[in-house]
Amino acid sequence: MTTIRNTALALVTTLALLGTGAASAHGYREQGKPAEVAASALVVTPTRDWNQLSGKRGKKAEVWTLDGEQLDQVTFYGGIAPGEPLFRERDKKGKPLPKFTRETLLAEVPGLLESTYRTDRAIASFTLLDARPERFLGTDGIRFAYEYVDDDNLPRKGEARAALVKGLLYMATLDAPRLHYFNRVAPDFRALADSATLR
């Protein structure tokens, strides 16, 4: 167990040395300035500066990072409509992603995210740790936490906030290596989620 933990820590350190900063960033989100995200009505006000990653995950998804995409990713999903996946499908025929539907309940959103991750990232190990009601965007929402092992074999932890507004799904997620990075970035993610509004 110690060997696995040391290997994971060494990998995180290597990633930090190789991928820190805004290497793959193309946008800058400034502290204190409200920002419209994910080409939607979703607006957040960062309490610190963030980098917006280049390369869209989808028309209604946008990714921010502090230390580089391998170390922390905050993804905003802005108004996913019935019949749409959470993000762009890379192989619609071979690996179609699950879709949000009119019948999807708030309590089923964690399962939608899990099945999307499993399909898109070929993840075999995904565990929902906690799910509970919590206000988001001024309405009834859900907060949930999860863990998984990505294709880089590094244990990752995630947290999400989601709400259904006028039949559309709005969600913000944080994904980061479980050791060190998740706990370091989680307060900043929670501040972002708490600031979220719809214009």
> Token digits for 26?
């193309």
> What confidence score (pLDDT) does residue 26 get?
65
In the sheet with 197-198, reading across from the earlier edge strand, the strands are 35-36, 42-44, 197-198
pLDDT tens per residue, range 14-51: 334 334 333 344 688 999 999 999 999 999 999 999 99
> What confidence score (pLDDT) does residue 91 get?
84
Q: Residues 116, 173, 154, 1: what is their CA dihedral angle, to the nearest 10 degrees?
A: -110
Q: What is the pTM of this model?
A: 0.86
pLDDT tens per residue, range 158-169: 999 999 999 999
pLDDT tens per residue, range 105-158: 999 999 999 999 999 888 889 999 999 999 999 999 999 999 999 878 889 999
Share of residues in the chain with pLDDT > 90 (%):
71
> Token digits for 96?
């179609």
> Token digits for 92?
């619609």
